[in-house]
Structure 1
Amino acid sequence: MRIFLAGATGAIGRPLVPMLVADGHTVIGSSRGHTHDDALRSVGAEPVVLNGLDRAQVLDVVGAAAPEVVIHQMSGLAGSGGDLLHFDDEFAVTNELRVAGTDNLIEAARAAGARRFIAASYTGWPNARTGAAVHDESAPLDADPAPESRRTLAGIKHTEAAVTAATGIDALALRYGTFYGPGTGIGPGGDQLAMVRARKLPVVGGGGGVWSFVHIADAARATALAVGRGRPGIYNITDSDPAPVGVWLPYLYEVLGVRPPRRVPAWLARPLLGRHGLNMMTAVRGADNTRARTELGWEPDYPSWRDGFRTLTT
């Protein structure tokens, strides 16, 4: 099939392009400039330049590609995403792409006659912090987000609403868990891994916030499978081992050969983390991946972060 991959040079795009090519697809991959043209050609993609916020350009470029499937992986993260006090500011461009970019791409996909649309979303802190420790796709998203993350949650909700309301095309939203592995913050050279090595990432309060991880290669493979499988709707793309911060963070320190993390009372950490950061450390809910495994036929190579984190030392 002909696949238009918007954001082909991002965290998911880099491992996804060669997977799609190996699966026999023709990939037209976009980036914001010509800097990555040679890299995209080297893995078998046809490079194009795209500004996802320019509706006319999106319609023209996607239309010229004549894709059967459009995949939305555009983002514009300015930093590591680690400034929790200014979380929305770091995700400002990404949130524009979640709103206008999603609308533009869905319109262009339909106009080009594409039969399928796949958009990136996120699971973890967006989940409502009520009920069970682990939520499936039917559970509500947070109705009372922290001030630092309101605009970002609104962008995520817009993407998912646009996908679920799309007509004339089969549309899916993939809620990825927290990425780790090459090219991510919890990977070689990553900012968050560097914080762990420097013992600058503590367990806050009781460390009860439940996180769901996914290795970047597993996330890319789930996306490749979604090209031809799965009913329209929302899918959690996470490993099978949601875990509290108080469990996974000390394990990561141990795997890296670092002394155990410091433990900081919640009241002391709040001025540094804000309400959003405090929620992530103490109150967020994990995600259940049953639907993705059942409908996409996806089984992660790293079903637990326990196995995947061990690869971070090699």
Structure 2
Amino acid sequence: MIVVRVFVAGGTGVLGRRLIPQLVARGHQVTATTTNGTKLEVLGKLGAEGVVMDGLDAASVGEAVAAARPDAIVHQMTGLGGGEPDMKHFDRFFATTNRLRTEGTDHLLAAAEATGVSTFVAQSFGSFNGIRQGGWVKTEDDPLDPMTGTVLQPMIEAVNHLEDVVVKAGGAVLRYGAFYGPDAMDDQVELIRRRRFPLVGRGTGHSSWIHLDDAAYATVLAVEQHATGVFCIVDDEPAPAAAWLPHLAAAAGARPPLRVPGWLAKLMAGDLPGIMMLEGRGFSNAKAKRELGWEPRHPSWRQGFKEELA
């Protein structure tokens, strides 16, 4: 294995904080970014050289990448700073992340081209957003659902932009499932404990999950193997909401979730809960296992939720 200089854009996010130590442990030199100068110390403790960068400012991105002189760029930038998600106005809640996946991706790719960086790995999303037709489990060959006319449409448009430009540039796109692990779903678990996260209808919609450490390991492999193309980074068990939500509640020591009809869920919280819990399509990890040689240490959310919330 050749030691490389890795530039992690978005080093203080929930995945960045798990990714940096894994890269460092394998001997790589890491420069990682934050938008907040007070978090530079956090990056230092993780083993990275920290730098303040605004992912939505082309000049800021260009200067940071040029100064780091990386061999590889990993795009983990999001605009999710914690707080309870606004399901009903998810398009507003996710607006900054959508910009980072469009404008931010373009800025990073331009900086990669300007500095001759050929290895580029970017965060995408593949949990319940597979095309809503046919079987419940999708692969990289299946399109994402456009979510036309819903609050999720801007998110899918941003993800599609990211995937298109990164693949065309010869990079790798990692469609991570729904994260769980340290700090990843504290708000969700709190809602479940307060019985404010009901099961919608029969809960037939499927989702895919991934532990943060498994997502980080797949990312390390993608960097080291100069991977190209799209990979679904999910555990072995895509599952309907009727299975994973009661299990998560039990693991959290909460009472079983309430059940509400689809029309009421839409009235109270908009499109998102119904789409996810009634119509969602999960993803298969077969390609990532086959081509990256990756195996999740947490093969199923069933054990993972219990371990994380014990």
Question: Shorter chain as normaliser: what TM range?
Answer: over 0.9
Do residues 209 (structure 1) and 205 (structure 2) align?
A: yes
1:81-140 C-alpha deviation (Å, 9 max, x unpaired) = 632111010111111110010001011012111120001000123321111100000001
CA distance in 2, matches of 1:156, 1:47: 27
Q: Secondary structure at the match of 1:148?
A: coil
Q: State the 1:277 CA deviation.
A: 2.3
What is residue 112 of structure 2 aligned with on the other side?
109
What is residue 173 of structure 1 aligned with on the other side?
173
- Structure 1's 89 and 79: CA in aligned 2 closer, same or farther, altered over 3 A? farther
What is residue 122 of structure 2 aligned with on the other side?
119
1:170-220 C-alpha deviation (Å, 9 max, x unpaired) = 3001000000110212xxxx1100111122211111101101000111111
Q: Read off the aligned partner of 1:232 and give its amino acid letter.
A: T
> Contact 2:203/2:242 (CA < 8 Å) preserved in 1?
yes
Q: State the 1:58 CA deviation.
A: 1.1
Single out whichever of 35-44 and 157-166 deviates more from structure 2.
35-44
> Contact 1:203/1:246 (CA < 8 Å) preserved in 2?
yes
1:48-97 C-alpha deviation (Å, 9 max, x unpaired) = 11111111221121011111000001111255463211101011111111
CA distance in 1, matches of 2:234, 2:208: 6
What is residue 290 of structure 1 aligned with on the other side?
286
Q: Structure 2 stretches of 5 or more lacking a match? A: none
* 1:82 maps to which of 79, 82, 85: 85
Single out whichever of 40-49 and 138-147 deviates more from structure 2.
138-147
Q: State the 1:223 CA deviation.
A: 0.8
What is residue 15 of structure 2 aligned with on the other side?
12
* 2:52 maps to which of 44, 49, 53: 49
Q: Structure 1 stretches of 5 or more lacking a match? A: none
- Structure 1's 45 and 181: CA in aligned 2 closer, same or farther, altered over 3 A? same
Do residues 149 (structure 1) and 152 (structure 2) align?
A: yes
Do residues 182 (structure 1) and 182 (structure 2) align?
A: yes
Q: Secondary structure at the match of 2:196?
A: coil
CA distance in 2, matches of 1:99, 1:9: 20
Q: State the 1:296 CA deviation.
A: 1.2
Q: Secondary structure at the match of 1:47?
A: strand
CA distance in 1, matches of 2:30, 2:187: 31
Equivalent pairs: percent with the same residue? 44
Q: How does 1:87-98 map to 2 (within 5 A)?
A: 87-98=90-101
CA distance in 2, matches of 1:125, 1:248: 13
Q: State the 1:276 CA deviation.
A: 2.6
> Contact 1:37/1:47 (CA < 8 Å) preserved in 2?
yes
Q: Secondary structure at the match of 2:146?
A: coil
- Structure 1's 79 and 14: CA in aligned 2 closer, same or farther, altered over 3 A? closer
Count of aligned residue pairs for this structure pair? 307
Q: State the 1:150 CA deviation.
A: 1.4
Q: CA RMSD in A?
A: 1.4
- Structure 1's 108 and 223: CA in aligned 2 closer, same or farther, altered over 3 A? same
Q: How does 1:159-308 map to 2 (within 5 A)?
A: 159-166=162-169, 170-185=170-185, 190-229=186-225, 231-308=227-304
